[in-house]
Structure formats: structure tokens, C-alpha cells
Structure 1
């Protein structure tokens, strides 16, 4: 799957601009956490391994008497039409979820487990992991005494933790006193997951909070004495290794599912390359690893005489530094979202010379603030940060004064090799073009990319697996620092953002850049409008919440081109037959007939429809009890958004298809927050330019696409210009 995450970027800004507003915290079932981004040979939804589309000729107007039982009825219920003629069936009314940080903040553990395993499939057994963990003696294993407690019990694991501490002085292996109790993913996150039976904490977390092992060992959070600092809160972001123990190997499947689910939770925290877990069921031991490529495991081995393999595995894990444990950076405040980050000296990969640059290598990197991290069940999340850095001289032999620190946005992603050629070609085209040709496109200050691998480097030589492509860590420094879209608090601000996304702003609409660009690009701006990207020859294919951002002047920008492809290729080419995007934002026609290969070509109007869903999502959110930093969805908005995130492609298709009917559409608008007055005026502009209005109800997919092609083509009844003109006329009225 293409991971955008997978996908959410935000770009960097010159330091003399106005102070950035911190992005509001989202606490909801799907807060910034849509389903996976997709885009390889088959669309794997959270509940489907592959989806494609039947020939478009097979789809006709919806027959109200022959629609699959239940699907239309569920769609009617979701948009508030439980009694709508013969389209509906008897359903149970869903209870709206309370807009509160303490509820409606996460899918159930069982639901996440279902999504993960349906999407990722079975773990792949790795010979390299067997060799490293089982066949290679460790430094401390001979010195660690064998446990006297029965293997497969928490008591035995706590005994091992004490023994390792006595031998190595390392206190990070902890038997959890509150195992099974829910804890937060991170201090700034609403999601919760049950506590593992034992954990190995990260070096950085314990360095930042030395009493953290004591906290994890307690059955309840320790109370602080009056006048003393409070103890740190447990959070998944502090875990380097999650360990599950069962008394019998008959419960190995249960332990496997639990640990993999928890590793995926760990991988969604900022700047994680991978997460490692261990299951011990009776005396049967197994090690798991989750990264952007998938889930990998050792074979299941008996611990052997004296539990030698258990001592060996735990010793190997204790010996790994945070980089080996998957930590690229951490905060010095135990993953406080707004704390300063401690960057690993191994963080930056080699520089990728995708284009000629007049800027030297990045040096003196400091990560100041997390701007955005996308909640991906795959752990392929693109995270964005506000950073400061200096550029080394291009000519290192020259004598020059140190360059001043400049503020950027830095995005971190794991890119797929098959999509890289198109991304590099686009970057080169942008950087080689004239100012006029690049107006409105985001230029990078530097790109750093690691080697393509499937497994971490500490295993030695990489290992290949059928159906799994290697990925590479890619760090991009952007020349302007953007804010997340949720910082728009009124319909006017949201409309201005959408205008920038579609149009790409011109130099007369923005002040001068505070960052000194090379002279050829000095008047240019780091904003990628959808229209400008199309004029350059590319279609974006992944418009989603995190890829739509706001610059320091309030104008919207469209960023992150990892799934962008040339739009003039033959539609028979493979990339045009692949569903691409992020699950809840996928256009109706892209979702249609999910069990067959995609029957349409991803076009401009599909991206505009995705933008419609982005605006809907933002408009569903409101401040929690007046706190602008904490956003929750309205009860009805949360229900609609949860339905759009359903793993059932045919249900999501039906839900979105019914937006063509005025009554379901108006019902959906009731989920919008009160602060977005007149939001239907903005949504209507997008709706009538992407085929979601009533004119297209009853169309076959093929007929609908042909009509949209005509309207966006020769007739020009629909166009970027039409959307731009309508929004520009709307703005003075808001």
C-alpha cells in the first residue's frame, strides 16, 4: 500500500514571520486518524486485503428494489433517514457519542485489531530475526540467573527484570503493575490501549524522568507529596518493547494479536521507525517487529534449559540503543507534544540530490515543536515538525561567516521505491522551471533519504519478502512553516484556505518572503495549488486532512506529492488502475465496486471531492468547553465521520453516493459545528464541481465519469476557475 501517512505533511516557514499558533488537540474516535492511505496493486481497506472495481458498464442506476439488503438502509440511517421509502430497512438508531476528551476518543481494541490484521495480513517469518535474537549469543545472558518462577507468568518476568537490573544496572525492563489497564498513547493524544504485561522503556524516557520505571511498576499511579513534582504519567510513547505473557502456549494467538496491536499503537507516535514486541506463552518465545513495511516475526521457540533463549532475547533488547529500538527522536519531557525534542545523532539519513540546490547541507538541527502527526494504523505516518537549522557552505573550503538559524517545517515519511521516480521527476521539474512556471509550488530546502530496506539495519543484510516492497526514511525540509487546517476557526478562514488549495496564491496577495531564497525563485511562494500542480502535469491523488494546510498569512496550501503522478500517461498503465488516497476522503467513483480493479482514472474532480470531505471533517469539530486547543466532533458529526471510516467499502460508497440527494446531504450538514456559520455555502461550491449534487443521482459510474470529463473538459462548466471565482465572490459575504 502507498503510505501517506502515511501522508500528512506540513511545511516550513522563515523565522521572521508571525508566531505560529499551536494546532488544537483533537480528541475523537478518528481525530486526524483516518484509515490508511492507499495506492498499490490492490486497495487494502481496514477490513479488506484487496479492492478493485468491476467494469463501469456493470453499474447502473440504483434499483431501490434490488439494492443489496442492508447497505442502503445502513446508509440511510447514517445520514438520518431511517424511514426513507423502500430504500431503508429496520435498523437500530446509533447513540450519538458524547463530545468529551474522555469518551469517543478511540476505536475499541477489538475494532483496531480487526482493521490491522485485515489490512496487513499474517506476520512474515524472518530468518534474519531468528539469527539475531535466537542464534547469536548476547553479552549478558550467561551472567543473568535463570528464573525460578514458572515461565509464562508475570512473576517470572518481574524476576527477570530484577536480575537484569542487578547484572547491567539497566532499570528499563519493568513488570507492569497495572497490566491490562488502559493508558494513553501519548500525553497529547486521546487514544488509549491496555497496558502490556511488561515493557522495556526507551532510554530517552528514563533519562527525562528517572522515576519512570517505578511508576510503571505500580498498580496505580503514585500520588505525589504536597510541594513535590507530580510523577510522570504512563504513555505508550515511552515504550521501546512491549511484552505479553501467558501461562500456556495455547493462548499464543491471543498474545500475538495483543502485542501486534500495541506495536502498531507505538508506531503511530512521532518519529518512530519501528517497534518491537515479545510474547512468552508458557515456555514458548516469539519476537515481533512492526515497521512501515509490515509485521515480521521470529519462529516460535521453546526457551530451552535454564530459559537461555529468554535471557538471550531480553539481553539483546537491553543492549540496543534508542535508534536500534526505533526511536529517531524524543522529547525531553517524555513525549510532551510541545516540548523540545532530543534528536538522535543518527537521525538524518544521507542527503538525496534529487535536484541541484544552491543551499548547503543541513546542520545544527533542532526540533522545536510537533506540528502534525497522522494517526495511521500502519505506522507509516508522515509527521511534521517546526525546526530550526543552519546550512553548511556549499563550498566547504571557502571562508564564510556562520549562516543564521532558519525556521523550516520538516516532514518525516517512509517512501516506497516504486513511487519515487515520479516524485523525483516532479521535484526536478519544479526546481528547474522559471518563476512563472513554479508560482504556487512548494520548493524544498533539502531532502535526506536513507537506503531502501525492509528490516532495520541492526539485523545486518536485509531480507526480502514476496509482496512487500522496501521503504526508505525520507526527511524533507520545506521553506515555509504551515499550520494545520484545524486552526481555521470560522467559515471565512476555511474558505480562504480552500481558495489557496485550489488556486495557489499569487505574489500580490502575499507579503514578502522572510526566507532569502535563491534569486531565481525569490518572488515565488511555497504554496502548491491544485490548479498549478495540474498545469505542471501532475494529479495529486491524496488530498486529505494533513495534506491541506494554512500558511502564515491564512492562505491554504496543498502539500505532499508522494502519490502524485503525471496525468497525461495512458490510462492503461498500472498506476492509473490503482486506488490511491486516504480512506475516508476517497471519492465515490474510486470506492465503487471494491472487489475489482479500479475502473476509472483518478482525475481532478476526484481530488475536489476529497477536498469536500476534508472541509466536512474540519467543520464537524468544535472547541471542547470553549477550549480552542481541544477540539471534539459534534455528536452527529462524529457518527458520520465514523461511518465514512467504516472498513466496508460498499457501505462507505453508499453513504457518499446518497449525498447526491438533497435530504441526506442537508442531514449531514446538521453535524457541522455552530462556529462554522454559512458553511453550506462553501461546501456547495465543491459539491457541484465534483459530481456530488443531485444531477448525478442514478448515473452509472461510466456515464458519470464521461459527463464529468465533458464538464471539466470542453464545456468548462466545471473547472478550477469556476471554483475560484465562486469562492472569491463568497468571501466578502462571510
Structure 2
């Protein structure tokens, strides 16, 4: 438990975690319940080892309230993140005619309209994402220099490694980096400085520049000093000892290698453009150097932590790192499947392996280094993007048979950033695109550019059949039957692989499934829940998430679309998805969104499964969802296979936590465009993100008691008047009320199934009716 919480001991009946569901005796136990009335900041206690005097307010980071649109994704991560500002127009888009090569980067010194008003995001690492499967991480944040992130790099490290697992040794990486001679290795002189020193690495950088003309390998002059992870993110991470910069970053700012080599940021002369700021988004390869191989574990931890952060910058497929400890060399690769490494090898006579590895890395292009796209301007995280000509995988389905392939893709701005390098790791972008003619032999006028939301994710093959079946049903169903489930305008998917293609034939690993890059173009764009500013607006959004609405009943349209897109002018809720035969299983911040008319919607069906299958099937026994929003019953007995079937009430409980997170936020220092958590709300939220499943379960199950529940409500920001009335509706329809206090998990599930079934005491209709009656009172 956090050191800044006080505790009180309560007795309740719990489940013995050593026994199986259905047979558990009721075991009385004493637990320490955090007393959220004791605010750590009022008492002056420090958080995360930092003196309280250093912080005006500790927070998970400010969050942008006004975002033009948002389509959910959310890997990993920490990570969460979105934000787009409605205050300023997006920068001029960079265009790529697919599959031709992309445009070159624009002048980084050109005027950037509205940059100050654009959204920022902060991506921190939550405790974990899921007990057994990777999940979306969705908690859009915006960061400000005046509000520091409380989690230090070292504090994130333990959580990160628990999430990422042990690095797997790869034979394919050994073959590529160590056993295959490179083009330039024989021409690069061996270093005269002792291996394992930064001086030797800088000497290698100079030698490679002399031989190849490539200046991207840089010995960092400020190694160990913190720098921002990205221009639009608030966290900091220590600078690696050396880096290889991306081709795009150096093309956009030719003086960037000089900046990275300096011990301090260079000062610009008056009247000249300012130098670009160092950021992790510019790094292609992170390198850590130690004088002795006895520090190899330290170097490994540092480089993996840095690679995770590189991967959570926009549009990265993977990140590569190198450790050199004495003369022992090792290469690491992090992607959505996991962490992979070469064996540890001595550099050999003349440091031949070091010269070989660095030469191989210099020879890779940005796509092979994991870059799918990059921003035009090296220090502008919100400008338009240069899209790789290799970006779009093959088209995967014919659901949208009336639409030709995507062409003239322009990525306008980042909407939602992946929060983790592992798992589905979804990011979303606002894009414009045209469609090629369905019949390429016909003579037709060019189609007009259409605005879409584009999600980029790494999907599992085991989940694909259900996702395809649901998508097919959605496109085949009538408008009335679907009430506008979020339809796609094109789905593009690559081959399933574990390792990048530049390594050659793929490699299989125990307990690691291959993933495929999937790019989906959505016909609608939405805004995040933080767009709501009053309890009434939030309740209206929750109503839409549960119910779904027919757009014509509201008289609104998301944005102008060709008539052939008419079936997408609706939004769908949890009830409608269930009627279509599916359970969502991942209600989280980024999946519950608001349309332009303020009506809520539920999107992202990657984890949805049919609810009419036998409960013995495997998909019913896997914990799915986003960590801080998981229902109590899903968290119970984490060391055993899931003992309950994921049902409607579990999703409603997840929605309870989503709305609670929204209510914890308040305007920062009177600025309604930036939201931060209240001190008490942040304490609660931090606890729900803790990696210990049994502890999070305990913290949530006690909410069935009135006193902890009332204490929880005190974390809500003052602007949410009468918010308890909304929470009460959700609470009494998901098993979080006192009726279930002391019940065994198996017994409470039986009761909930009866209440949601024959008795109809709990139902979507009950929630809908109660919220509709509540709205006039707010």
C-alpha cells in the first residue's frame, strides 16, 4: 500500500485464494483499507520519494478536456493518451500517394499555426495491463511543465518488467547481428579507447561517419541526464550513453546530431532559429555502455526501459537497443510480442562484433528500425506526419465492397497514443484519404477526400475469428438492427509474425503468440469522455454507452460523408452489442466515447466474444480487459484460471470505474483545457493501478460497504454536482452494493445471473430508465 495513505482495519468475509471457485469456504480475514480521507498532500508527506515542497500538485498528469475527436484504440500503456485540441486547426498535412514514396520533411522552421493550443499527452505506466493477455491501455492524459509526473523512471521499472516478462533469446537475432558480415565492418577501424567506455563509443561514431557519411550514431554528451520522452509528453527518462537517430529526425533537423552530442542544450543566437529539443521520439537505437560486464544486469534494465518508452511514441512497430559492458555485447528488440535478445558475446579481436553490429544498424532504413511514420517537424509532436510508403499492409477483408482501396492517405494528427509497447498497443489518428475506384479499368472522377479515424494495432490470431465474424455481421445487418455499430471503411492487416521481417524467417517462442499489424479506417470520429463538463453531460454520455442511439432520432451527423456511408450515422451501446450476440469485455476510458452531439458510444470490439458459447470454452476462462477497470470477479484468485464467465454486469462494473476516473479530474489552476486528478482521486487511482491483483480486488470489493464507497466519492472533483446519483445507478446494477457483501465469488455470480436473467431486477433497461429519469434532475 502507498506510504502516504492511512489505514483502518475492517473485518469481512473473503475467499481463500488457495481453493477453487464453487468450493471456497467463507474465510474471515482482517484487511487494511486505505483511508482516503487522510490526504497525503495535506499531511505534507512525500510521494514516490520526492519532497512535497517540490510539487504544487502531484498528479498523473493534466489531461486535455477539449479534443476534436477521439476514436479508441489502447497497449499498454502507462500508458495511455490522447488529446487533440479544438482550439486550433491542424497543421497542413503531409501527403503520401500509396504505395509511392512519401514526401520529404517540411522545413522545421516554418510557421506552425495554433501549436500552443494543440493537445499534449502524458503516458505513464499503470501497474499492469492484464493478468494473462495484453490489453488496451486507455487513459488519455495531457502533460504540462508545471505538473510533474510522480512516477520516477526507477519506480516504473519494477512495474514494467512485471508486465513485459523475461527477455527471450533469439537465434534469428544472433544470426543477423553476429553471424552475418556487414557492408562496412572491414572499413571501420577498431577503437583505440577501452571498450565499455563512452569515449570508445564516440570514437566508433566518428569512424562510422568517416566511412559511411552517416552522422546518426552519436555519443550523448548529456548521458544520464533526463530528457522528455516526446515533445507532447510530460514524463522524462534518462539519456542513453549513445543513440542512433532516425533518418527522418536528422532529415528534418540536420543539426540534431550536434545537439545530442552536447553536454547542454545549445543556445541559439538572437534572430536565428532555436535548436531542436532532444526527445526520445528521435531515437532509433538506444545504447548503454558500462566499463565491466558485472554491470550487465543494470545496463539491460536501463535499455529495456528506454526501448519501452521509444515504442510508445507514435507509430513505432519495434525498438532496438544495444548494451556494451566491458567487451561483452548484446542486442535487444522490443515489440508488441515481447522482449527479445541476442546471446551475450565478446566483441572479439579488433572489436569485430561491435563494428559489425553498429554497421548493421546504420544500414537499416527507418521502416526496418520500426518507424511506420514520423512527424514532419522534429520537435512538433502535433504536426502532420510523413507516412512510410511501406505503411499500409494488404487489405484484409471485403466488408466494404463498395469502397476501393485507400489512397492519398494524410495523417493529420495523433488522437490516441498507445500506452504500452506490448499487446494490442492501439493508437488512433485523424486522417483524410481517398478511395481508388473499385473497378480500376473504369474511367471515373477522383473520389473526394474523406475524414476518418485510423487505428493502428497489433492483433492476435487467436482473437481474429471472432473479430472478423462480428465485423461481418455488423456490415451485413440492417441499419435498424445494428443501430449504427461503428463500421469500417477499410481494414488492412499484415502477416502474423513474432520478429521483424528484416531478420529473415520468423521464429517461434513458447507462450508467445505472433501478432499482425492491423490498420482500420473508421467511418466516425469521437471525443473522449473528458469532453463532458457537467454531471448531466456525463450522464448523457453514460446513457449512450449503455443504450446506443439512432442518429436520426438526435438530428445530428458526425461529419459530412458520402451517401454510401449512411449506415454509419448511428452509434451503438453495450445493450446493442449484446443483442448482436457479443460481450465487449474491455470497457475502458478510451472505449467509452462521446459523439459531436454529446451522446455516448461504445467502440473497439477487439476483445468481444459471442456470449452464447459454452462457458467451458477457453475464451470464457481468460481474463480480458484493461487493468484499472477490471471487475472484482475478474480480479479474484489471480493465480488460477478465471472462475467466472465474463458477463454483462462485469462490463457495467468496468463502466463504473471509467466514470469514476472521469469524475476524479478537475481543471488545473482554473484552466478548463487542462484537467488533473484531485489529490484523493489520484491516490485511489494509483491504488487501482497497483500490479498486485489480490490487493486491487480487496480495494474494490470493499466498495460494497457504504463507508468506503462514500470515502471514494470524496475523491470526485467539486464540479460534478450530484454525481453520486449516477454512480448509485451503476453500482446497484453490477454487484458493488451491500447485497453482495461477504458473498463467495461463485455465489454472487449465481445471484447476478438470476438478477440479470429471469427476475430482470438488473438489466440494461433498468440502467437506461434510471438515467433517463435522472437527467431532468441534473
Does TM, scored on the shorter chain, surpass 0.5?
A: yes
- Provide closer, same or farther for how the CA distance between residues 640 and 76 of structure 1 changes in structure 2, counting only shifts above 3 A: farther
User: Structure 1: how far apart are the matches of 2:447 and 2:599?
Assistant: 29
Q: 1:84 to 1:305 in 2, by over 3 A?
A: closer
Higher mean C-alpha deviation, range 512-521 or range 217-226: 512-521
Q: Is structure 2 residue 255 aligned with structure 1 residue 211?
A: yes
Give the corresponding residue for 1:524. Answer: 568
For residues 370 and 50 of structure 1, the distance between their equivalents in structure 2, rounded to whole angstroms, comes to 13
Cα deviation, 1:246-289, whole Å, max 9, x if unaligned, reads 00011111111110111111111111100000000001100000
Q: How many residues are matched? A: 732
1:696 deviates by 1.6
Give secondary structure in 2 for the equivalent of 1:409. strand
Contact 2:405 2:438 in 1 (8 A): yes
Contact kept, 8 Å, 2:82 with 2:141, in 1: the verdict is no
Kept in 2: contact 1:383–1:411 (CA 8 A): yes
Preserved contact between residue 79 and residue 655 of structure 1 (Cα < 8 Å): no
C-alpha distance in 1 between matches for 2:304 and 2:107: 43
Contact 1:52–1:596 (CA<8 Å) still a contact in 2? no
Unaligned runs of 5+ in 1: none
Q: Deviations over 1:212-267 (max 9, x none)?
A: 21221111222222232222221111111000000001111111111011111111
Deviation at 1:207, TM superposition (A): 1.6
In structure 1, C-alpha distance between the alignment counterparts of 2:272 and 2:108, rounded to whole Å: 67
- Alpha-carbon contact 1:6-1:380 (below 8 Å) kept: no
> Is this contact kept in 1: 2:73–2:590, CA < 8 A?
no
Q: Alpha-carbon deviations, 1:60-98, whole Å to 9, x = none?
A: 999999999999999999999999999999999999999
Residue pair 2:130, 2:625 contacting (<8 A) in 1 also: no
User: Which runs of 5 or more residues in structure 2 are unaligned?
Assistant: 1-39, 51-57
C-alpha separation between the residues in 2 aligned to 1:180 and 1:63?
A: 31
Alignment check: 8 A CA contact 2:119 2:382 kept = no
1:555 matched residue in structure 2: 599
Q: Which moved more, 1:176-185 or 1:404-413?
A: 176-185
Cα deviation, residue 116, structure 1 = 2.5
Q: Deviations over 1:686-733 (max 9, x none)?
A: 111111112221111112111111111111111111111111222222
Superposed CA deviations along residues 566-587 of structure 1, whole A, max 9, x for unmatched, are 0011001111011110110000
Structure 1 residue 114, shift from structure 2 partner: 1.4
Deviation by residue 1:459-482 (Cα, 9 ceiling, x = unmatched):
111111111110000000000111
Structure 2 CA distance for aligned equivalents of residues 228 and 627 of structure 1? 33
Q: Is the CA contact (8 Å cut-off) linking 1:36 and 1:45 kept in structure 2?
A: no
Q: Which residue of 2 aligns with 1:274?
A: 318
Q: Alpha-carbon deviations, 1:408-427, whole Å to 9, x = none?
A: 00000000000000000001
1:440 and 1:524 in contact (8 A); partners too? yes
Deviation by residue 1:480-513 (Cα, 9 ceiling, x = unmatched): 1111222222222221211111111113333354
**Worse overlay, 121-130 or 620-629:** 620-629
Does the aligned pair in 2 maintain the 1:10–1:546 contact within 8 Å?
no
Shift of 1:121: 2.3
Q: Does the CA-based 8 Å contact 2:71-2:453 persist in structure 1?
A: no
Of 65, 74, 92, the residue aligned with 2:118 is 74
User: Against the structure 1 CA distance between its residues 540 and 5, is the aligned structure 2 distance closer, same or farther, given a 3 Å change threshold?
Assistant: farther
Moved more, 72-81 or 669-678: 72-81
Check the 8 A contact 2:80/2:123 in 1, yes or no. Answer: no
CA contact (8 A) 2:71 2:527 kept: no
Closer/same/farther in 2, CA of residues 625 and 80 from structure 1, 3 Å limit:
closer
Q: Is the 8 A contact 2:703 2:709 kept in 1?
A: yes
Q: What corresponds to 1:351 in structure 2?
A: 395
Distance apart, 1:52 and its partner CA? 47
Pair 1:159–1:566, CA change in 2 (3 A): same
Q: Kindly indicate whether the alpha-carbon contact (under 8 Å) linking 2:259 and 2:276 is maintained by their aligned counterparts in 1.
A: yes
Q: Any idea what the Cα deviations from partners look like across 1:373-411, whole Å, max 9, x if unmatched?
A: 131263742000000000111111111100000000000
Would the alpha carbon gap of residues 57 and 380 (structure 1) be closer, same or farther in structure 2, given more than 3 Å must change? closer
Q: 1:544-592 deviations in whole A, cap 9, x for unaligned? A: 1111111122211111111100001100111101111011000001001
Structure 1 residue 44: Cα displacement: 41
SS in 2 for 1:436: helix
Is contact 2:407-2:433 (8 Å) kept? yes
Q: 1:337 and 1:40, CA in 2 relative to 1: closer, same or farther beyond 3 A? A: closer
Give me the CA root mean square deviation.
13.6
Which stretch of structure 1 is more off in the superposition, 480-489 or 418-427? 480-489
- Pair 1:436–1:300, CA change in 2 (3 A): same
| Change in 2 beyond 3 A, CA 1:59/1:664 | farther
Evaluate the alpha carbon distance shift between residue 677 and residue 283 of structure 1 in structure 2; reply closer, same or farther with a 3 A threshold: same
How far is 1:675 from its partner? 2.4
Distance 1:46 1:685 in 2: 40
Do the aligned partners of 2:400 and 2:489 also contact (CA within 8 Å) in 1? no
Check the 8 A contact 1:488/1:494 in 2, yes or no.
yes
SS in 1 for 2:768: helix
Q: Which deviates more, 6-15 or 402-411?
A: 6-15
> 1:533 Cα shift?
0.3
Q: Is the 8 A contact 2:81 2:417 kept in 1?
A: no
With a CA cutoff of 8 Å and minimum separation of 6, indicate the structure with the bigger relative contact order: 1
Q: Contact conserved, 1:612 with 1:686, CA < 8 A, in 2?
A: yes
